[in-house]
Structure 1
């Protein structure tokens, strides 16, 4: 007889603590997780700003490190924050408030609707999101608790001694997660179960009352948390009097007051003008409406939470200037609200749509500069643990090689199973690991292997899961027609898990070429102490639609847009007019939905004029773009001289 969830819970918590301790033990080791800054975003979405670099210098002169938007598995993000690196100190014990709104519905639809000129397509979750989703719900609520437990342990390590955590849940898993929180934070540190009551359509249900609330479990780390009572202003004197059911009196000076019970039978005057200024202390039942699609703050994200909700939490649980974190950031409401309230923030999400929406939202809000970061060279580290149940990484590499049509090389020379050959072409094939990032260094090693392995080959293929933004530039720089780079389909692991035979998959799997961005500096003209760069997007070649997780209808619609208007596939692009080759500082951005430049919500502008202080030497300009599916590409334009 199988165990009940209650019987399984102690083992789940024990295993979650053990898994968290593994990350904590590696914080100072050579294998610790690190963050890689992909973009320093200095929000500026207009085409005419002559003070960009002066703003950048002011920001970099400030000793305060930029806020952080992190893409990737939050378990790894938290491990990296705890470890710190050469650019940032460890964040252990530094965060004042953590709010999380983790997914709590196993039947939720995680598809993304993408509206393009003339059509709308459905994108299924990316391979990384699929891993996270399947890992979270493979065994129902038990798997969910196994997912959340080690993360809660690391969150406690990040909190300051006066810090607190606010966990947003509903009826699906709320009562189970409370038991886990009691174990990790201590039952004595439970402060409130807040009921968020929201309005909705009235429905008559046959067997229950309509569900109209979520809960937010508020725990402190220690016995002396920071907490500020949240006051809500009365809308009018009439509302106050009606709710209190009190009679209004007028004194000799004409001031209105009511008589309130002060205890002990005494009655005291409460002047209404003072009451209206003081407001009323909010209790643990919050009546706040959910967002609808027509709300001014809506960014079109299915699980977006209202700013009013986060405002209460952040103001109550963190001091001004304090650090707020959200490791399931979704639409970015926590970051946007913390920014408005003068708090520093760190947010992360495993979904590309989430971080793309958050970045655009913060630019739209003219946020302070922030860093967009990823989990070092291991963006798909989570895949390794998921696949570990059935495969070794070398086994997976051999499956990939066979699907590509290659024969795995003998074990003694195959580098853990990653090498294969195509006899008819005399070609070497290298299948990279799902936890590796293909970079220029990867390609140079492939060139060396083509010469040295088994006496040499005529050609080498590199099959990759994940690629550096600069990979297109790196391929161009090598000028090697005997080197080809192919993309492993992002849904391949999902297909493998559902098929017992590799041979059955062989005819359906396609390894596509990489996406590629083409841009140029049209002119560089000086005027006084400034100069203006005119930068043009010329073309965008998307990787094959076969490599994107789409149904057949959406794939056909996408092909039409690709052929008709390829630049309409770009979601976001940014410019660094003086790229140092290390940190991409975007001092100008445009994105779909930004109508300040051209009024077109479905397209980015394709030409930008960026005015910066004059530089006598040549410039190295970098342009980065993200398409509607989250694929990133980069082009570097060297030796740009004055016209």
Structure 2
């Protein structure tokens, strides 16, 4: 008989703490996790184009807000370790708010709205790990996920810092015990009940209409700005306390303690004055299912941080924490494992003319899926992928790499990259060298990758090698391959499709004199080639709709595009952006504009113009054009 969850809880806490300790001990290693900067976003929403503020260099002396795509456990490791461009943030955060997904068995499919079709995509493999697969073994799995993350959050908090954990009835009581253990029972400050209204079809129980928010501080010396969150007293209370109505309809105080009642009262630990998601103002909604109201974060951030404080949200969702923190002159860090959330957040911050921020990633790792599969080595997995491609792996005694195979009849080599790597320049160069040198040379090499650096299209073009082919391993393949035995059925079915990469093409960029100090650049997207719908988490009906869109108007798949008119080859500085739902440039919420006119400082040299595009599924493409 298995242990009950109450009996299992001490083991879960012990294992989670052990995992966190292992991570903390590895922070100084040379192969520690680092963050890759995909984009320095310099918000420029208006139709006239370029960001007009001062552009700072990315180095350890300058602060940049951060939006991080990827597993928050890896993101926190990177923040704790620091790197060449940024110091460690250990003990630097004054406030962490998290709204982690509940143990709710929810459906996290995403609806993609296109001009003539609505496509529903399932979560990617990595998102399924974060959400649906997390609950496969029930609440225990959820708690195992949370413990090491909460330990790392405590390490990031300053001595005057606080954490607010927003949760509902599914796991709140178990999580409270874990929070007591990690942060200390003496540092528990409040159990805040957020009560809300709204219709419900449930008639078998009292309607469940509240969440709880656990507030813990790191020490007894914590920030609490109660005067910034005071609520005005209602009229009846004021009258009881000595106020009286004047003939002009106002309130006049006649007692002695005037200051207390003029200022208002500190909120109770039950909040019923903040509307829930279904009642958020239309002007605030961003199209994200679990979006939280700004008023909720406004109260928390004002209470437990100061101007200039660093605020973090490691389950950022639609980005409400950063949106409010920016308006309140706080610094922010947000991370999320869902591409839809990160895409919405990036647009949201541009839309509100945010301060410049870094959009970073750890990569589209299938690492977690691999580690919980039955494949104990990368070699085992690579051999299965090679067989699914229709090739044969090399025997161990023939001197070939463990992840290589061949198609004998066509003299073609197959190389399978690791699910924990981003396929880029170094991988492709090694594949070329392998093709040219192994056993007297081969005709062609095919590289099969899981994840790719954002400028992979540019890299392939620069290599200009017709005998090098790069293909995408289906994103959900590891999810299908729960065991090694299942790949035989896949081979028989013939359903595995290895697709070509997506890429963006632009028309020749026109450069003209605007005045004696400025030039005009006219940049127009020409075409977008998306990887095959077979490689996307779509059912047959949605694949068919997508095929139609790809054929008729492929550029309508672009969700966001941005331009760096002076790309230095290292940091992409996004000085111009357009995105769906931005109607400053046109009136069509389902399409981006296809052409941009940028007024730039005149330079007596060639310019490297980099254009990046993100499609509705979150795939990024980049192209660099040299302009005379």
Q: TM-score range by the shorter chain?
A: over 0.9
Q: Which residue number corresponds to residue 443 of structure 2?
A: 458
Q: Which residue number corresponds to residue 499 of structure 2?
A: 512
Q: Which residue number corresponds to residue 300 of structure 1?
A: 287
CA contact (8 A) 1:231 1:279 kept: no
User: For residues 125 and 101 of structure 1, what CA distance do their matches in structure 2 show?
Assistant: 19
Q: Which residue number corresponds to residue 264 of structure 1?
A: none
Residue 416 of structure 1, CA deviation: 6.1
> Aligned runs of 1:336-375 on 2, under 5 Å?
336-375=323-362
User: For residues 325 and 397 of structure 2, what CA distance do their matches in structure 1 show?
Assistant: 55
CA contact (8 A) 1:521 1:533 kept: no
Residue 215 of structure 1, CA deviation: 0.3
Q: Which residue number corresponds to residue 265 of structure 1?
A: none
Q: Which residue number corresponds to residue 286 of structure 1?
A: 271
Gaps of 5+ in 2: none
1:386 and 2:372 aligned: yes
User: For residues 150 and 62 of structure 1, what CA distance do their matches in structure 2 show?
Assistant: 27
Change in CA separation of 1:78 and 1:172 when aligned onto 2, cut-off 3 Å: same
Q: Which residue number corresponds to residue 15 of structure 2?
A: 15
Q: Out of 578-587 and 389-398, give the one that drifted further.
A: 389-398
Q: How many residues were matched structurally? A: 623
Change in CA separation of 1:256 and 1:372 when aligned onto 2, cut-off 3 Å: closer
**Of the candidates 175, 180, 183, which is equivalent to residue 185 of structure 1?**
183
User: For residues 476 and 538 of structure 2, what CA distance do their matches in structure 1 show?
Assistant: 10
Change in CA separation of 1:241 and 1:41 when aligned onto 2, cut-off 3 Å: same
1:430 and 2:415 aligned: yes
1:311 and 2:309 aligned: no
Change in CA separation of 1:385 and 1:415 when aligned onto 2, cut-off 3 Å: farther
User: For residues 331 and 450 of structure 1, what CA distance do their matches in structure 2 show?
Assistant: 46
1:558 and 2:550 aligned: no
Q: Out of 303-312 and 450-459, give the one that drifted further.
A: 450-459
1:221 and 2:207 aligned: no
CA contact (8 A) 1:257 1:269 kept: no
> Aligned runs of 1:264-275 on 2, under 5 Å?
268-269=255-256
Q: TM-score normalized by structure 2?
A: 0.95
Residue 457 of structure 1, CA deviation: 1.4
Change in CA separation of 1:234 and 1:22 when aligned onto 2, cut-off 3 Å: closer
CA contact (8 A) 1:231 1:280 kept: no
1:107 and 2:105 aligned: yes
Change in CA separation of 1:154 and 1:384 when aligned onto 2, cut-off 3 Å: farther
Q: Look up the SS of the partner of 2:482 in the other structure.
A: helix
Q: Out of 363-372 and 61-70, give the one that drifted further.
A: 61-70
**Of the candidates 206, 210, 213, which is equivalent to residue 209 of structure 1?**
206
**Of the candidates 491, 494, 509, which is equivalent to residue 479 of structure 2?**
494
Gaps of 5+ in 1: 260-267
Which whole-Å deviations, capped at 9, do the CAs of 1:192-217 have from their partners, x for residues lacking one? Answer: 000001111165622x2100000000
CA RMSD across the alignment:
2.3
Residue 45 of structure 1, CA deviation: 2.3
CA contact (8 A) 1:499 1:505 kept: no
Q: Which residue number corresponds to residue 474 of structure 1?
A: 459
Residue 240 of structure 1, CA deviation: 2.1
CA contact (8 A) 2:445 2:467 kept: yes
Residue 392 of structure 1, CA deviation: 2.5
Residue 465 of structure 1, CA deviation: 0.4
Which whole-Å deviations, capped at 9, do the CAs of 1:275-311 have from their partners, x for residues lacking one? Answer: 7751221111111111337621000100100000001
1:240 and 2:225 aligned: no
CA contact (8 A) 1:231 1:282 kept: no
User: For residues 414 and 245 of structure 1, what CA distance do their matches in structure 2 show?
Assistant: 90
Q: Which residue number corresponds to residue 27 of structure 1?
A: 27
CA contact (8 A) 1:574 1:588 kept: yes
User: For residues 108 and 637 of structure 1, what CA distance do their matches in structure 2 show?
Assistant: 44
Which whole-Å deviations, capped at 9, do the CAs of 1:375-405 have from their partners, x for residues lacking one? Answer: 1x67444344333x55422211111111001
CA contact (8 A) 1:135 1:147 kept: no
Q: Which residue number corresponds to residue 602 of structure 1?
A: 590
> Aligned runs of 1:578-589 on 2, under 5 Å?
578-589=566-577
Q: TM-score normalized by structure 1?
A: 0.92
Q: Look up the SS of the partner of 2:582 in the other structure.
A: coil
Q: Which residue number corresponds to residue 155 of structure 1?
A: 153
Which whole-Å deviations, capped at 9, do the CAs of 1:92-130 have from their partners, x for residues lacking one? Answer: 000110000000033111100001011101010012112
